[in-house]
Amino acid sequence: MLVDSHCHLDFPYLSDQLDDVLARAKDAGIGTLVTICTRVRKFEQVLVIAEAHDHIFCSVGTHPHNADEERDVALDEIVSLSKHPKVVAIGEAGLDYHYDNAPRDDQEKGFRIHIAAARETGLPLVIHTRDADEDTARILSEEMNKGPFSAVLHCFTAGHELARKGVELGLYVSFSGVLTFKKSDELRDIAAGVPMDRVLVETDAPYLSPEPMRGRRNEPANVVHTAAKLAEVKGVSNAEIARVTTNNFYARFSKAPRPEGDVAA
């Protein structure tokens, strides 16, 4: 069984055909799914999906793209929404200097508020970072010195140094379909170096379909292709990578109950 630790089931295309998407995920052997919040003001949209399905959980937070729209979202509000039994993570939050959709100052403030929420609740922070390796590493180090928190570098596409720093700080590193792209040799090299007890897989659906599905909309069933590539990179079987990434998921997203019958091996 595999877990899709990061998808956006409330986004059009997935939400429009959710029953079919979930049926295909089940057929592909995907167990738990985490549908990730990108706007606290739209948290309700991910929550209703999680509430309607035993195997779906959600997060709460503001994507860096929306950081300027949600300047008014305070720590207390995130913490209070996270008390819902279906909320297993904070985020996604972080820095995106590739698109710079929101001013960097707002992104950093939002990032630090979400780190504080992760620290206070004990829930893992789902970190989005793109073309912002140095600032991400700096903020993580500064904040870790204020008090520990747990986190995942989601859809990892950053460089060696941020991967190394993340692992040193106790973070998990989650790989998406980008790992399967032809041009991703450096990323595969990074993945080879991340300790086995820190790796996760995700789709980030509806974005970033892995090979051989590239060019089509992505959906959770496709996490099998990323997992297979990670197995190849690590030189282990697909069954072993499923075992490892699923164990890692329940270790880090520990508020998500492991389904009965799916025992840690």
Residues at the contact surface with Zn ion, assessed by CB under 5 A: 36, 92, 128, 204
Nearer to Zn ion, 33 or 231 (CB): 33
Nearer to Zn ion, 5 or 245 (CB): 5
Nearer to Zn ion, 127 or 191 (CB): 127
Q: Which residue is nearest to Zn ion (CB)?
A: 128
On the CB side of 59, CA atoms within 13 Å amount to 32
The minimum distance between CB 215 and Zn ion, in angstroms, equals: 19
Nearer to Zn ion, 143 or 204 (CB): 204
- H/E element, 119: helix 104-121
The minimum distance between CB 205 and Zn ion, in angstroms, equals: 9
Return d(Cα 144, Cα 115) in angstroms, integer: 9
Looking at residue 259, the DSSP 8-state letter turns out to be P
Strand residue runs (E) in the chain: 2-7, 30-35, 56-60, 87-96, 125-130, 151-153, 172-175, 199-201
The minimum distance between CB 128 and Zn ion, in angstroms, equals: 3
SS3 for 91?
strand
Cα→Cα distances 143→109, 110, 138, 205, Å: 12, 13, 9, 29
Radius of gyration in angstroms for the set of CA atoms belonging to the chain, rounded to a whole number: 17
The minimum distance between CB 154 and Zn ion, in angstroms, equals: 6
Looking at residue 210, the DSSP 8-state letter turns out to be P
The minimum distance between CB 261 and Zn ion, in angstroms, equals: 29
The minimum distance between CB 178 and Zn ion, in angstroms, equals: 11
Nearer to Zn ion, 8 or 231 (CB): 8
Phi, psi of 15 (to 5 degrees): -65, -30
Instruction: Give the rounded distance of the alpha carbon of 216 from its chain centre.
Output: 21
Contact yes or no for 143/149 (Cβ under 8 A): yes
Nearer to Zn ion, 92 or 106 (CB): 92
